[in-house]
């Protein structure tokens, strides 16, 4: 029975739906709009034949879910992983709708994924799979329709292949079809660090609100991928004390603070953080419960659950990953008065700078990095203020406040546009 309950708790679609329903109820959302917003507009499943290097033919299953296009083109990443499911992609697509609405940028939400193990595939196999996946989606994506981006196990190179494949079908170069591209083919300066920078900005706002100082603020970061490593580097540079880092296979701890630049260099050289001499080895699950001011889960979903939420000792939980906290854990954290910066706000720096990239591609005019970072800071601070104001006005926690704000904005747009029938 316990296993079934846990499976339900950790199902990302159920988790998203639980928060949506609660926020919609508190907004007294009209029943018709409730139904419209609860389900995606479109779900696409494709089966992709790929010629493997050993001469065999493999068929991979891919998804693209477009949750909403009410406020503009759909926007969302593409992930390559063995455990990708349609439910996960659905949940992530709806989170993207709410995320874009929270930071008030003119996009709806989408998400994509392919069930595969990219670590066991060659570059040639990945390229052929990516190009065929893109070709299958060619009528459904585009600068005015749906703009993909990198996500788990995808990167600038994958985006370059997607952009090229789409461009070949259109018989013209269309840089704005995807974001997260290399800079020399229409990528934006500052995009790579953007999600981590967004985490830094909202943490700055949270410690200001709670009366803390950077140099006395101890931080534990879970995940040293794009989001976690950039958040850790930028926060260490800003004066925060990073005392713990968690990666697959264990963590590192140093109560005096880890030298993040030295760790970064070590990881570049050795391909792992494990064995780094200036911090002690520590169990990852124990580090999640370490005594600290800020905990940043920046890895995968379902890290803080009803099983461990009671042991969390941080004052601020800043969600660098999508869905790291389950709905059941939310209630426990609220009782403990943990200040949660929900994922649809905390990690929105990535999609915000993706929006800047899309704007630059469409203008054909590219901004200096300082301009990108300045615009990002302005949008993230305004969104933080909006969410906290909503939370205090409606007497709800920050997550439900963020959902209420987002749902309100999307519902308002749908009411204005009306339902085409």
**Cα distance between residue 355 and residue 378, in whole Å:** 14
CATH of 41-185, one of 3.40.430.10, 3.40.50.150, 3.40.50.10860, 3.10.100.10: 3.40.50.10860
pLDDT at 4 over 90: no
The mean per-residue pLDDT over the stretch 247-268 comes to 92
The mean per-residue pLDDT over the stretch 150-171 comes to 96
pLDDT given for residue 3 in this prediction = 59
Q: Which residue, among 384, 377, 301, has the nearest Cα to 339 in the 3D structure?
A: 384
Calculate the average pLDDT of the chain: 94
Q: How many CB atoms lie within 10 A of CB 414?
A: 17
**Cα distance between residue 251 and residue 34, in whole Å:** 42
pLDDT at 104 over 80: yes
pLDDT given for residue 2 in this prediction = 52
Answer yes or no: pTM beyond 0.75. yes
pLDDT given for residue 363 in this prediction = 96
Judging by DSSP bridges, how do beta strands 57-66 and 42-51 pair with one another? antiparallel
The mean per-residue pLDDT over the stretch 357-367 comes to 97
% the chain with pLDDT above 70: 99
375-379: long-range contacts, CB 8 A cutoff, minimum separation 24: 376/190, 376/194, 376/197, 376/198, 376/201, 376/349, 376/352, 377/201, 379/103, 379/104, 379/105, 379/352
pLDDT given for residue 402 in this prediction = 97
Question: Which run of H or of E encompasses 10?
Answer: helix 2-10
pLDDT given for residue 407 in this prediction = 97
pLDDT digits 0-9 by tens, 283-294: 888 999 999 999
Reported as half-sphere exposure (CB side, CA atoms, 13 A), residue 198 has a value of 35
pLDDT digits 0-9 by tens, 34-72: 999 999 999 999 999 999 999 999 999 999 999 999 999
Handedness of CA 325, 329, 331, 337 (dihedral sign): negative
pLDDT at 237 over 70: yes
Q: How many CB atoms lie within 10 A of CB 361?
A: 24
Q: Where are the beta strands (DSSP E) in 42-127?
A: 42-51, 57-66, 74-81, 108-115
The mean per-residue pLDDT over the stretch 62-83 comes to 97
Q: How many CB atoms lie within 10 A of CB 219?
A: 26
User: What are the domain boundaries of the chain?
Assistant: 41-185, 188-421
- Owner of token pair 């630059």: 360
pLDDT digits 0-9 by tens, 292-320: 999 999 988 889 999 999 999 999 999 99
> In the structure, what pLDDT confidence band is assigned to residue 5 with cuts at 50, 70 and 90?
low
The mean per-residue pLDDT over the stretch 372-401 comes to 97
Q: Please identify, in words, the CATH class of the domain defined by 188-421.
A: alpha beta
The mean per-residue pLDDT over the stretch 149-168 comes to 96
- Catalytic residue annotation: 111
CA distances 144 to 227, 242, 316, 362, Å, are 27, 41, 38, 10
The mean per-residue pLDDT over the stretch 77-105 comes to 96
pLDDT given for residue 184 in this prediction = 96
pLDDT given for residue 1 in this prediction = 43
pLDDT digits 0-9 by tens, 174-228: 999 999 999 999 999 999 999 999 999 999 999 999 999 999 999 999 999 889 9
Q: How many CB atoms lie within 10 A of CB 266?
A: 18
């Amino acid at each position: 029975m316990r296993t079934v309950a846990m499976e339900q708790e950790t199902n990302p679609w159920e988790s998203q739906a639980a928060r949506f329903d609660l926020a919609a109820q508190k907004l007294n959302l009209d029943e018709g709009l409730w139904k419209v917003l609860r389900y995606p507009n479109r779900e696409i499943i494709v089966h992709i034949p790929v010629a493997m290097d050993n001469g065999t033919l493999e068929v991979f299953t891919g998804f693209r879910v477009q949750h909403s296009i009410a406020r503009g083109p759909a926007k969302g990443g593409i992930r390559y992983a063995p455990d990708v499911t349609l439910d996960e992609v659905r949940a992530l697509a709806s989170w993207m709708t709410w995320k874009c609405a929270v930071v008030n940028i003119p996009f709806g939400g989408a998400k994509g994924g392919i069930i595969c193990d990219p670590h066991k595939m060659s570059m040639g196999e990945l390229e052929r799979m990516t190009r065929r996946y893109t070709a299958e989606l060619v009528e459904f994506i585009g600068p005015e329709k749906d703009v993909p981006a990198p996500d788990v196990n995808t990167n600038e190179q994958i985006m370059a292949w997607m952009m090229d494949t789409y461009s070949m079908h259109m018989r013209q170069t269309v840089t704005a079809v995807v974001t997260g591209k290399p800079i020399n083919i229409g990528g934006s300066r500052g995009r790579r660090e953007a999600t981590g920078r967004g985490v830094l900005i909202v943490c700055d706002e949270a410690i200001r609100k709670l009366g803390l100082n950077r140099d006395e603020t101890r931080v534990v970061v879970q995940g040293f991928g794009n989001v976690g490593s950039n958040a850790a580097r930028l926060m260490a540079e800003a004066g925060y004390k990073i005392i713990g880092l968690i990666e697959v296979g264990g963590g590192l701890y140093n109560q005096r603070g880890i030298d993040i630049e030295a760790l970064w260099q070590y990881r570049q050289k050795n391909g792992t953080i494990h064995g780094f001499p200036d911090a002690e080895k520590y169990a990852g699950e124990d580090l999640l419960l370490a005594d600290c001011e800020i905990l940043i889960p920046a890895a995968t979903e379902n890290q803080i659950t009803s099983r461990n939420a009671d042991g969390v000792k941080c004052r601020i939980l800043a969600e660098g990953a999508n869905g790291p906290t389950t709905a059941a854990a939310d209630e426990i954290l609220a009782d403990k008065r943990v200040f949660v910066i929900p994922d649809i706000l905390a990690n929105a720096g990535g999609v915000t700078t993706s929006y800047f990239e899309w704007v630059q591609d469409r203008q054909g005019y590219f901004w200096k990095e300082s301009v990108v970072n300045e615009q990002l800071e302005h949008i993230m601070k305004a969104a933080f203020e909006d969410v906290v104001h909503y939370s205090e006005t409606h007497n709800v926690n920050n997550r439900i406040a963020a959902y209420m704000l987002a749902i309100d904005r999307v519902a308002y747009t749908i009411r204005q546009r009306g339902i085409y029938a």
